[in-house]
Structure 1
């Protein structure tokens, strides 16, 4: 009996000690934030993810009562900025503005300075559907005609923004699922890819709606399809690839927020709630939609599901194409 009592006493003491140890963390989460927050953007300033990050930062900052500072750290197909956040203290003051690379890098790169598990999903910000672009005078007007034309002769040259970029995944789906005959030409950025299409060095590319729409609306390029599941708010006359009969063509330039693993759940919940409110703000949503971005927001759970689904989608393309970043 004494031994049993001793064990019970020991267990009770251990539980009490654990509860006491957790108090500082709970108090910290309850008070958070008490100083400026940093959003690390793994892209250069001015692109789709940077613009979405700034809109999220502005809206969330108002609701959290602290400034949110944007820090651009491009390089390594987003792995440079991702590593900075993965290796940061999980105290709720450093977050990653994440994109598809946070999922696909570990699939296509030989090595990374962090593990996938070092970053956890917090909130969805928004997305910019990818738009398939061809020269304005191209003889095809939809995706079916484009694929059929590519199957003749040597095929088409397709510009990407590098291995593992969204245009690379778009081309992979077109090839492995729908039989397009494409020769990949990697460039350093989406703007270089668009320049190549304008100059007819390549037959096609795809690019985020926020970048693509000005060229389409001005008549400089022709849009064949929107690659997401819904039409673009700023250009609803463009049908989706799904509507055109290509159900597996579901990919976009998305923007979310990830945190270093170990960041208290209470902090993650607060940030997710603030970002969701920012994306549902009428003025913010209207501004983003006008420039070709679809605000999303949502809960931590909904973003975690999106990330899991995206991992499955992109993983299947990597496997089918043998995509590797040498």
Structure 2
């Protein structure tokens, strides 16, 4: 009975502490609510985990500019390349969840955890906000190569020592394409380069036999007569070059991947801010001005809801993780 009384009637100091905790909690919740009510009241930062000038940087800048018009507030691009996009992702994962710092990464935000032995942040430290766009991957060979389609590529790979296939390094989208081709019987020697652009230059210069890169990177080379497109690896043809057949159309539905880009926020960012940013990005992507800017370059604007983006990411993880494991993709 005395024990019950002591629990029911806490010491006065305990009361003060409890009151202080409750007050601090209410203040914090009130502060978050106030932030969401006034957001955005200052410029927003999009961290791009790659250097300037690449496909992901191009998409992020175009979408940021259009989204800024929707929000009535500037969006600043900050390039933080390094460690296969992990450096930039880690910066955002550890940023204040106040709605003023977002990550604009590519597929590495999903695949890095599959191939790296250590990660400086947890996957759930980054919250999906919106899908921006996809640059469909295109398998290419030199313009004068006898290879004209996927069946021809597989047949050519089975003669002699096989084909040399350049990639942008372990776990890159071209690396996944190479492993998908191998699962369909191709005999390939994977040749890693520091970037996709270097891998494409190697094909143009005939140091390697083939590669796969984002449409925005290879379309100028295809149109310029330096490369021949063998197939695109997305689920529909590229609007800017509709004569390139997809892998699925050629009988290879399991060769499916694209260079996608999206927007993520630090865990703990208020739901209202996440929803408002998603709606602003979606409206920007659907605008005729942005579509006219991206589509001619071979970039497919996507958009959609937060739930759409989460569903896409989960599907990517489920599809690509077994490939990474089976091919023993490892990067320290």
TM-score (norm 2): 0.92
The CA deviation string for residues 153-184 of structure 1, in whole angstroms up to 9 with x for no partner, is 211111001111110011011112x0111111
For 1:315, the equivalent position in structure 2 comes to 321
CA 46–21 in structure 1, closer or farther in 2 if over 3 Å, else same: closer
Does residue 1:264 correspond to 2:270, yes or no?
Answer: yes
For 1:24, the equivalent position in structure 2 comes to 31
Unmatched tracts of structure 2, length 5 or more = 10-14
For 1:116, the equivalent position in structure 2 comes to 123
Shift of 1:118: 0.9
For 1:80, the equivalent position in structure 2 comes to 87
Shift of 1:26: 1.5
SS in 2 for 1:324: coil
1:231 is aligned, of 221, 224, 237, to: 237
The CA deviation string for residues 189-245 of structure 1, in whole angstroms up to 9 with x for no partner, is 111111111111110001100010011111111000000000001000101001111
Separation in structure 2 between the aligned mates of residue 184 and residue 21 of structure 1, nearest angstrom: 52
How is 1:132-143 mapped onto 2 (pairs within 5 angstroms)?
132-143=139-150
Shift of 1:249: 1.3
Shift of 1:16: 10
Separation in structure 1 between the aligned mates of residue 180 and residue 161 of structure 2, nearest angstrom: 19
Q: How many residues align?
A: 318
For 1:174, the equivalent position in structure 2 comes to 181
Unmatched tracts of structure 1, length 5 or more = none
Shift of 1:20: 6.6
For 1:293, the equivalent position in structure 2 comes to 299
For 1:196, the equivalent position in structure 2 comes to 202
For 1:250, the equivalent position in structure 2 comes to 256
For 1:61, the equivalent position in structure 2 comes to 68
Separation in structure 2 between the aligned mates of residue 26 and residue 263 of structure 1, nearest angstrom: 11
For 1:101, the equivalent position in structure 2 comes to 108
The CA deviation string for residues 53-77 of structure 1, in whole angstroms up to 9 with x for no partner, is 0111111111111110001111111
Shift of 1:25: 1.2
RMSD: 1.9
Shift of 1:314: 1.4
SS in 1 for 2:238: coil
For 1:209, the equivalent position in structure 2 comes to 215
Separation in structure 2 between the aligned mates of residue 15 and residue 301 of structure 1, nearest angstrom: 33
List, as ranges, runs of 4+ consecutive aligned residues in structure 1 with deviation greater than 3 Å: 13-21
SS in 2 for 1:98: coil
Separation in structure 2 between the aligned mates of residue 169 and residue 57 of structure 1, nearest angstrom: 29
Separation in structure 1 between the aligned mates of residue 247 and residue 135 of structure 2, nearest angstrom: 15
1:155 is aligned, of 124, 140, 162, to: 162
SS in 2 for 1:195: helix
Shift of 1:304: 0.7
